[in-house]
Structure 1
Amino acid sequence: MRKGFIITAVIILVALFATIFWFPFLWWAGLIILPILVLGLVDYFQKSSNIRRTYPLLGRITNFLEEQRHVVQESLLLNRTEGKPFNWIQKEIVYKRAANTLMNQPFGTQIPYDQVGREWFTHSTYPANQINDDFRVLIGSSHCSKPYSASILNLAGMSFGSISKNATLAFNGGAKIAGFAQNTGEGGFTPYHQKYGADIIFQFGIGYFGCRDAEGNFDAKKFTDIASNEVVKMVEIKISQGAKPGYGAILPAKKNTKEIADFRDVEQGTEIHSPAFHSAFGNDVEMLKFISDLRTLSNGKPIGIKLCIGQKDEFESMVKTFAEKQNYPDFIAIDGAEGGSGAAHMESLHWAGMPIIEAVHFVNGILKNYGLRDEIKVMAAGKIISAFDIYRMLALGADTCYSARGMMFALGCVQSLKCNLDTCPTGITTMDPSRVASLVVSDKKTKVANYHKNTIEGFKELLKSMGLENRKGINKKYILRLMNENGTKTYQEIYPN
């Protein structure tokens, strides 16, 4: 094939020059054929791709299909239940609710009931007539002087820089319209988080972006300036996240623009390394001291921690310390191992951390065992899309939920999986101005608000169908899972108290 290509190329070149010599008016043929031959010769002599070297030109088609494999599958090949991480049915739920359009479907479910692992809820013979619940949760322990009333569905942390300016603005506008909280992510507190006046959960992580000194350590004064802002309702310390628990992070130099550098308190154009551990504390007792300091600096606002559950004994030891010291965070945000990230290490993405269902049940049980369940609220994050997803989390013990990718679908995300390449086609996870401009804030903020509103309405209808008038009746016994070909179990049986 390789030798044949060279022979063919030589023949074509000779024929091309002969044709142009005898028929000068066909000069344009050279403009078409010469670039193709040049590409073929480049393929022939390059050494990085075996396929292109063996099959010049044709190998490029294979490489292109490999690079666009997910896009082709999502667009043309997969049925409604096969897409990953989210299938079309899940995406369609968000798209329809965001568009506030026809939110029903004919001809029955396409999710087979005989598939092991299939879950469903049990309805009542006598549905409830009305719902008496505002679906808000007061977050703030007895140590907190300014508790916050949060929606049961909020925007999970997504930093400006990992998402675009327009995406951040649309989320802020949507959160304000629908009345839920926007988590800043660990990339700092920006004017885009303040534009429309939505409630803000200020998150900082191991890099202390937005509240760090020149050496990268926590800066109390900068934190106080942020925490004292009226729109900041709670503070979240990120210890770890679902997609890469226990791993550090890198902000590439090419993404570290002047604007991002200013918001993150770093030097423009440099590669920023965030370690996997905090410099402000290194054990449970030091963390409690840090939380107490933050409460004072924020003038009594709720302070929480975010983590993905790993080694169970470590978490239980942490909660035991909370009980012994009678000091604790106001909330714990649990990130499931199935959580997303713009970029994560291969091993951590696929194999690290506890899944959200197991994690929420575990955390709820440990807090109960040490008598802290009424003091510490639990927030759950990990592929929360539908009202059924919310019900599962609340039944297992969560008080509220976070959604990131669900909210991204409301912005128009198509799951192209290009979040880490700065080539997002929808303008959500890119800093490319031409792509960002594709995301129209005035339209998308309304769609984000619609998605939240209609999901809460869906949750109300779900509760009514179960004969429940409020959240107090939520119970694990109302969820069933097909365990094998011969039987099912309720969540109460699978996850006993």
Structure 2
Amino acid sequence: MSPNWKRALPFLPVAGLAAYDLIQKRHAVLRNFPVVGHARYALEAIGPELRQYIVSGNDEERPFSRNQRRWIYASSKLQNNYFGFGADNDTEFTQGYPIIKHRTFSDIAPATQVNRGSKGDTVPAAKMLGGHRGRPGAFRPTSVVNVSAMSFGSLSAAAIEAINRGAAMAGAMHNTGEGGISEHHRHGADLVLQIGTSYFGCRDAQGRFELARLKDVVASGPVKAIEIKLSQGAKPGLGGLLPGAKVTEEIARIRGIEAGRDCASPSRHTEFDSTDSLLDWVELLAAETGVPVGIKSAVGNLDFWTELVELMDTTDRGVDFVTVDGGEGGTGAAPLIFSESVSLPFRLGFARVYEQFARAGIADHVVFIGSGKLGLPDNAVVAFALGCDMVNVAREVMMSIGCVQAQKCHTDKCPTGIATQDKWLAHGLDPLSKADRAANYLRTLRRDLLKVSEACGVAHPGLITTEDLDILNGHESATSLRQVYGYEAKWGLPNEFDAAEITSIMNGPC
């Protein structure tokens, strides 16, 4: 053997490892950063030991703690997602900590005896979407957990495809975000088409809304509902911006804009300028497309909500669903002041909106959807108790397909190929393998919600009440969730007919 070959021998294993990393499809980080990417997993493996002495606790990191991310990662991979040796949270001294109150006895059948439907663990919504107003396309969503709005453009084609395939496998709906429908959205999941202030995908050459185009898009399917985006938790009242680096030829074609240039969405719509004209537009879209139509908004000044409820109570117009987004910041990048200080956090914002509908006696007329870190079981349970009929998940489903909370979504340098249009980075994400993980996560979240529901003595998360949770006041006392938010008896629950129907569905024969 020549001296040159001898010198090369120590490097052959590294070269072999690099070649394997480049062709494997399970880990986007390794495909994008062969060999050196293994350091991330090595550090992750010894992370608890390192943090115990020199870094931070498992429940200290934000916006998602290491424990929360670990639960999502383990759930998506069907690994052990249990935690041993007690809680990391300081439950005795944390002000505002929610505690779920289990029941000793219950008439609810054990989970092993409950009919979970054709998809194994499908948990349908407690209300019909569009049913109250008799929309031709009214339906009962098959999942109480669905995918929130994240557009093609903000996310890569591979990420959109993986999430759509995963949602389809889990029987969940996939919200398109305001960027329109691409071919990557058409892998089996039912879609909620979001219409933003720039009317992407349903606008003319001058950027104005065009009804004919919207009807064509809806008819092309599988669009089950339309969501009008008024604002979102990441940047309420600000509008949006897709940097020019992310505006590829394909994205430009779908949105009807120019490639390579910053794509700005204004903060307000041009098709309506008041609550009254908004409802006129809602009824127009519903009449022309036949599908349920709702709105999405973060919660700030309540004047809009007061007027909306008054008009819905006194006229024959109304939205079919309301998606309330928490002001904690979400998948969209924004100035720090907007993500941290503009609009109310989810629990307070949602409670104030729900109260308006409940006091008017029309809460049963609307399907309520919550979003804003509700992809974690404890947060979701609080949302259902407050009156949510469904929850939407965004950052959590991103984590299920590999997001490591690098917080580089706005730079086009996402290391896992999720929030980027960089071809090299995006190629590391294999949609087929990641779709399985998205589906596993969605199913696991529903399973845990069912377990908690049964612990509370009810058959469905939508039947959990504000009396089933207490909010701790440090180590001194606790107050029921109902008292904290000023709810009256039976607020937050479906009416007796819907409650009986969903109980019958969940406790049907195996």
TM range (shorter): 0.7 to 0.9
Aligned match for 2:396, one of 396, 402, 406 = 406
1:112 Cα deviation after fit:
1.4
Q: 2:463, 2:145 → 1: CA distance?
A: 18
Aligned match for 2:158, one of 166, 180, 188 = 166
1:424 aligns with 2:414: yes
Q: Is the 8 A contact 1:148 1:234 kept in 2?
A: no
Residue 198 (structure 2) aligns with? 207
User: Structure 2 regions of 5+ residues with no counterpart?
Assistant: 1-46, 117-121, 488-510
1:125 Cα deviation after fit:
1.6
Aligned match for 1:105, one of 72, 83, 88 = 83
Secondary structure at the aligned position of 1:233 is classed as strand
Q: Is the 8 A contact 2:385 2:462 kept in 1?
A: no
Q: Is the 8 A contact 1:249 1:273 kept in 2?
A: yes
Q: CA RMSD in A?
A: 1.8
Residue 343 (structure 2) aligns with? 353
Secondary structure at the aligned position of 1:296 is classed as helix
Q: Is the 8 A contact 1:130 1:469 kept in 2?
A: no
Q: 2:193, 2:462 → 1: CA distance?
A: 30
Aligned match for 1:191, one of 183, 187, 201 = 183
Aligned match for 1:253, one of 215, 221, 244 = 244
Residue 67 (structure 2) aligns with? 89
Residue 364 (structure 1) aligns with? 354
| Matching of residues 22-171 of structure 1 within 5 Å | 77-114=55-92, 115-126=94-105, 128-130=108-110, 135-137=123-125, 138-140=128-130, 141-150=132-141, 151-171=143-163
Aligned match for 1:289, one of 280, 285, 300 = 280
Residue 56 (structure 1) aligns with? none
Relative to structure 2, which stretch is displaced further, 251-260 or 438-447? 251-260
Q: Is the 8 A contact 2:175 2:194 kept in 1?
A: yes
Alignment TM-score, normalising by the size of structure 2: 0.80
Q: 2:385, 2:462 → 1: CA distance?
A: 10
Relative to structure 2, which stretch is displaced further, 251-260 or 153-162? 251-260
Secondary structure at the aligned position of 1:477 is classed as helix
1:251 Cα deviation after fit:
2.7
Secondary structure at the aligned position of 2:478 is classed as strand
Secondary structure at the aligned position of 1:139 is classed as coil
Aligned match for 2:217, one of 209, 226, 235 = 226
1:272 Cα deviation after fit:
2.7
Q: 2:441, 2:248 → 1: CA distance?
A: 32
1:252 Cα deviation after fit:
2.5
Q: 1:472, 1:155 → 2: CA distance?
A: 18
1:374 Cα deviation after fit:
1.5
1:311 Cα deviation after fit:
0.5
Residue 486 (structure 1) aligns with? 476
CA gap of 1:199–1:307, structure 2 versus 1, over 3 A, is: same
Q: 1:273, 1:129 → 2: CA distance?
A: 52
Q: Is the 8 A contact 2:231 2:239 kept in 1?
A: no
Q: Is the 8 A contact 1:227 1:297 kept in 2?
A: no
Secondary structure at the aligned position of 1:148 is classed as coil
User: Structure 1 regions of 5+ residues with no counterpart?
Assistant: 1-72
- How many residues matched? 423
Give the greater-gyration-radius structure (CA): 1
Alignment TM-score, normalising by the size of structure 1: 0.82
1:175 Cα deviation after fit:
0.7
1:356 Cα deviation after fit:
0.7
| Matching of residues 241-280 of structure 1 within 5 Å | 241-280=232-271
Deviations 1:99-142 (A, max 9, x none): 11112222111111122222221111225442558631221132
Q: Is the 8 A contact 1:98 1:449 kept in 2?
A: yes
